[in-house]
């Protein structure tokens, strides 16, 4: 056995490294910027002295906090003696270890070692001061005793420092004489793209200490953290410490990574395949047929999913930004393969995330301020923040938390989530495309009712979807038998009867590749969209007729057309893209119950289920009710009916119906049988 060579005088070796041009410059820069952290690339140590690098990984405490830190300070004293005197210490922060350790591989073997982990920050506490050196005043003699602190609890002196006194207390903590440092706790989770299929993501607790590493990352950020793995035994009150330890990371450095999904450049032969595919005049058809081939039918929904996967181009103007991502909603009867479609998309999208409306954590879909066990508050990112720059597939969206119902408006249009609660104020990014599914309120979709009546989501949320489709389970002999054949075939073979023309792996790479293209609208495409928009608008210009189509739909059309150009890897949005966008938009509007042939689209009717005349009547009912409330407080229903019938000549049956609707919406309520009141 060969004797392991010790590094002779590691501090001396580090000093040599820090005397190289690069590090001399960095060190002298510290005084200029007023910082105390020296960033050191691991690779520099490795090329300088592989043995030193090895030891650093094995004994990080000794090598970083003592040897490297002392050497850096020594060099600082040479570069700027005055500043060195002022700062007392230089913190060496190592970045860029050769490889990241997957969170799920961290274990006993890593305890005490230096590792690098990558993940998403899911939770963060506010920055809190932590006492490093505590000062205690003896209540007997007034002498101050200083205790260097470590571990989670504040340690008081055992005995007074004064030899004359030597009393065992009591002591009083003196804040002004103690030394504090900023600290913050994070929870880091495996990135969706690192997750083995079907596994729940693991998380790791990370402690940050030092004002140059706290407050660097926010929930939703992708980070790379270098730190020392620690194991602590949780304490059970009255019982003692447990034998199984919990791992956490004491961070040495933290870097926020680029938010773009990892899109490793395709290999030359892959790129060739991708470009070859794009040349196919039937490329859109091919992609549609490759989306969830085991699911029978739903061509138009798969087409919408294609647009969603590729997405439009987001525009950042000096004053506003306009999202490029699409939001698609599927409303459907039970058992119509909605969940299956969503799960498929979450798998194939370069950064896809599947969640139910309730969310999988306390943070739900947007974000939440959580009270920690220890009593502190922390900010936790919900699904949309975690899916930043990806696709969030939200199943059972109608069942989201009430808090999310409010916050999701901002997330869906502005692509941010703002939180101001429990002393935490933050705005997180949520730049995601959304594919949502929901069941009809009444169990089954009722085509003669409006979409707003069919789904328990407010119109303000519905209007943020670019496309809405209805999946209905209607018995149809021909389709049923074909579908049965299709499903039974799958069960028999355990394979899809239709081979996807593009295998999922290649499709994912194709999408990543396409995302790099920013197609621009051609004059011809612009004209088509404009014509359609104006035609729809003018159909409603007639006095008193409802607003047909709004600017939101125009923006949706642009996004869809851009996505279609992208799917063919084209830099230009052609007339055919505009036509396809118009066609699918029409289809979506028709599905939600509008007869386009008459050109009388009434978005109000679609979304709220109230035509203008009906809204007028509802208005009359409400104002009459309010008028009568002034006199009697609560209003007798019978009296209201009489008043309305006499004054406005609305039929009793209609009034009854409208009142029922107002009750259902919660605009008015029944404080007791036969009486009404505005909410």
Ligand X SMILES: Nc1ncnc2c1ncn2[C@@H]1O[C@H](COP(=O)(O)OP(=O)(O)OP(=O)(O)O)[C@@H](O)[C@H]1O
* Residues of this chain that bind Mg ion (CB under 5 A): 339
Residues paired with residue 394 on neighbouring β-strands, in sequence order: 355, 436
**Segment contacting Zn ion (CB under 5 A): 158-166, 365-373, 596-604, 660-668?**
158-166
| Pair 185, 218: CB distance under 8 Å | no
Q: Please, what is the end-to-end C-alpha distance for the chain in angstroms? A: 85
> What is the enclosing helix (H) or strand (E) of 128?
strand 128-138
Cβ–Cβ under 8 Å, residues 257 and 95: no
Is the Cβ of residue 149 or residue 167 nearer to Zn ion in the bound state?
167
| Cβ-based nearer residue to Zn ion, 177 or 627 | 177
When binding is defined by CB under 5 A, the residue of 53, 92, 138, 304 that contacts Zn ion is 138
**Residue 143 backbone phi and psi in degrees, to 5:** -70, 145
Supply angle C-alpha 91, 96, 101, rounded to 5.
Answer: 110
**CB of 653: closest distance to ligand X in angstroms?**
34
CB of 89 to Zn ion, least distance (A): 30
Task: Compare residues 259 and 486 and give the one whose CB is closer to ligand X.
Answer: 486
Distance of CA 432 to the CA centre of its chain: 7
Identify the bridge partners of residue 395 per DSSP, sorted by sequence position: 356
Beta-bridged to residue 40, according to DSSP, are 94
Select 204 or 304, whichever has its Cβ closest to ligand X.
304
Which residue has 């181009």 as its token pair? 313
Per partner kind, with CB cut-offs from 5 to 8 A, the member of Zn ion, ligand X, Mg ion, none near residue 332 is ligand X
Given the rule CB under 5 A, which of 108-116, 146-154, 165-173, 490-498 is the region that contacts Zn ion? Answer: 165-173
**Beta-strand pair 433-438/424-429:** unpaired
Q: Which run of H or of E encompasses 675?
A: strand 675-678
Q: Minimum CB separation from ligand X for residue 306, in Å?
A: 17
**What does the block give as tokens for 93?**
């922060």
Q: Should residue 167 be labelled a site residue for Zn ion when binding is judged by CB under 5 A?
A: yes
- In this structure, are residues 257 and 245 in contact, taking their beta carbons and an 8 Å threshold? no
Beta-bridge partner residues of 393: 354, 435
Residues 293-352 that bind ligand X (CB under 6 A): 295-297, 332, 334-340
Whichever of 235 and 340 has its CB closer to ligand X, that residue is 340
**Rounded distance between C-alpha atoms, residue 380 and residue 428, angstroms:** 10
- Residue 232, classed as helix, strand or coil, is strand
Candidates 39, 130, 165, 209: give the one binding Zn ion (CB under 5 A). 165
Residue 107 or 166 having the CB closest to Zn ion: 166
User: Nearest approach, Cβ of 360 to ligand X (angstroms)?
Assistant: 16
User: What's the closest the beta carbon of residue 479 comes to ligand X, in angstroms?
Assistant: 9
* Residue 140 partner contact from Zn ion, ligand X, Mg ion, none using kind-dependent CB cut-offs of 5 to 8 Å: Zn ion
Per DSSP, the three-state class of 223 is: strand
Residue 141 binds which of Zn ion, ligand X, Mg ion, none (CB < 5-8 A, kind-dependent): Zn ion
Instruction: Write phi, then psi, for 414 (nearest 5 degrees).
Output: -90, -15
Question: Residue 345 and residue 350: Cα distance in Å, rounded?
Answer: 9
- CA-based nearest residue to 340, from 393, 381, 386: 393
Least distance to Mg ion, CB of residue 398, Å:
12
Site string for ligand X, 469-488 (x = CB under 6 A): --------------x---x-
Residues 435 to 464: which contact ligand X by CB under 6 A?
439
DSSP one-letter code for 438: E
CB of 149 to ligand X, least distance (A): 53
- Within residues 607-646, the interface with ligand X by CB under 6 A covers none
Q: How far apart are CA 155 and CA 146, in angstroms?
A: 10
In sequence order, the β-bridge partners of residue 669 are: 677
Q: Which residue is nearest to Mg ion (CB)?
A: 339
Among Zn ion, Mg ion, ligand X, none, the one that 70 touches (CB under a kind-dependent 5 to 8 A) is none
Q: Look up residue 457 and give its DSSP letter.
A: S
Pick 145 or 355: Cβ nearer Zn ion: 145
Nearest residue (CB) to Zn ion, 143 versus 654: 143
Q: Looking at beta carbons only, is 479 or 534 nearer to ligand X?
A: 479
- Residue number with CB closer to Zn ion (98 or 141): 141
183 binds, among Zn ion, ligand X, Mg ion, none (CB under 5 to 8 A by kind): none
With contacts defined by CB under 5 A, name the span among 115-123, 130-138, 452-460, 620-628 that binds Zn ion. 130-138
Q: How far is the CB of 359 from Mg ion (least distance, A)?
A: 16
Distance CA 470, CA 472 (A): 6
Buried b (16+ CB within 10 A) or exposed e, 502-518: beeebbbbbbbbbbebe
Phi, psi of 413 (to 5 degrees): -105, -45
Q: What are the distances in angstroms from CA 13 to CA 18, 38, 41, 127?
A: 9, 16, 15, 35
Question: Smallest distance from the beta carbon of 292 to ligand X, in angstroms?
Answer: 9
> Binds 304, which of Mg ion, ligand X, Zn ion, none (CB < 5 to 8 A, cut-off by type)?
none
Indicate the residue among 63 and 354 with the shorter CB distance to Mg ion.
Answer: 354
CB nearer ligand X, residue 87 or residue 483: 483
Give the residues lining the site for Zn ion (CB under 5 A).
138, 140-141, 143, 160, 162, 165, 167
Q: Which residues bind ligand X (CB under 6 A)?
A: 295-297, 332, 334-340, 439, 483, 487
């Amino acid at each position: 056995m060969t004797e392991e060579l010790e590094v002779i005088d590691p501090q001396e070796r580090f000093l040599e490294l820090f005397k190289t041009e690069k590090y001399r410059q960095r060190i002298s820069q510290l005084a200029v910027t007023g910082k105390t952290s020296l960033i050191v690339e691991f690779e520099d140590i490795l090329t300088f002295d592989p043995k030193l690098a090895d030891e650093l990984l094995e004994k990080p405490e000794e090598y970083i906090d003592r040897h490297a830190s002392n050497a850096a300070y020594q060099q600082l004293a040479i570069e700027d003696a005055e500043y060195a005197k002022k700062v007392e210490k230089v913190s060496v922060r190592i970045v860029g270890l050769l490889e990241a350790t997957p969170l799920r591989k961290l274990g006993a073997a890593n305890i005490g070692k230096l590792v690098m982990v990558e993940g998403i920050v899911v939770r963060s506490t506010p920055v809190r001061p932590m006492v490093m050196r505590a000062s205690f005043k003896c209540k007997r003699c007034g002498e101050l005793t200083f205790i260097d602190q470590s571990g989670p609890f504040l340690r008081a002196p055992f005995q007074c420092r004064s030899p004359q006194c030597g009393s065992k207390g009591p002591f009083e903590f003196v804040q002004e004489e103690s030394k504090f440092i900023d600290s913050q706790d994070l929870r880091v989770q495996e990135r969706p793209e690192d997750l083995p299929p079907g596994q729940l993501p693991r998380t790791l607790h990370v402690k940050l200490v030092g004002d140059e590493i706290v407050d660097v990352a926010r929930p939703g950020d992708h980070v790379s953290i270098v730190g020392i793995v620690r194991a602590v035994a949780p304490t059970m009150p009255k019982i003692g410490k447990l034998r199984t330890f919990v791992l956490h990371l004491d961070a040495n450095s933290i870097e926020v990574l680029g938010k773009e999904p990892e899109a490793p450049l395709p290999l030359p032969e892959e790129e060739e395949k991708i470009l070859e595919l794009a040349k196919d005049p039937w490329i859109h058809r091919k992609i549609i047929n490759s989306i969830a081939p085991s699911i029978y039918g739903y061509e138009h929904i798969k087409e919408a999913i294609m647009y969603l996967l590729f997405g439009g181009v987001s525009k950042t103007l000096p004053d506003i930004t306009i999202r490029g991502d699409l939001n698609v909603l599927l409303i459907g009867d039970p058992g119509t393969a909605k969940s299956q479609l969503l799960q498929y998309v979450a798998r194939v999208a370069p950064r896809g995330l599947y969640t139910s409306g309730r969310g999988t954590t306390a943070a739900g879909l947007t974000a939440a301020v959580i009270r920690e066990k220890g009593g502190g508050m922390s900010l936790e990112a919900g699904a949309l923040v975690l899916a930043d720059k990806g696709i969030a597939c939200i199943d059972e969206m109608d069942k989201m938390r009430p808090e999310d119902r409010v916050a999701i408006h901002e997330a869906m249009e502005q692509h941010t989530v703002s939180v101001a609660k429990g002393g935490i104020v933050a705005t997180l990014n949520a730049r995601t495309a959304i594919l949502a599914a929901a069941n009809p309120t009444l169990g089954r979709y009722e085509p003669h009712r409006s979409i707003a009546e069919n789904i328990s989501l407010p119109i303000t949320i519905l209007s943020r979807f670019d496309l809405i489709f209805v999946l209905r389970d209607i018995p149809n002999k021909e389709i049923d038998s074909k579908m049965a054949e299709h499903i039974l075939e799958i069960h028999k073979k355990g394979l899809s009867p239709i081979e996807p023309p593009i295998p999922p792996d290649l499709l994912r790479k194709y999408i990543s590749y396409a995302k790099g293209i920013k197609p621009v609208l051609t004059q011809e495409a612009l004209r088509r969209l404009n014509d359609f928009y104006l035609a729809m608008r003018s159909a409603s210009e007639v006095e008193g007729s409802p607003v047909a189509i709004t600017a939101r739909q125009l923006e949706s059309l642009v996004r869809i057309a851009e996505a279609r150009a992208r799917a063919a890897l084209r830099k230009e949005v052609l007339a055919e893209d505009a036509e396809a966008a118009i066609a699918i938009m029409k289809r979506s509007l028709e599905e939600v119950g509008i007869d386009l042939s008459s050109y009388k689209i009434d978005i109000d009717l679609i979304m709220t289920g109230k035509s203008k005349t009906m809204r007028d009547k509802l208005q009359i009912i409400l104002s009459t009710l309010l008028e009568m409330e002034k006199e009697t407080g609560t209003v007798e229903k019978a009296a209201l009916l009489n008043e309305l019938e006499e004054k406005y000549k609305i039929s009793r049956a209609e009034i009854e119906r409208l009142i029922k609707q107002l009750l259902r919406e919660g605009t008015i309520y029944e404080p007791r049988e036969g009486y009404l009141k505005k909410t």
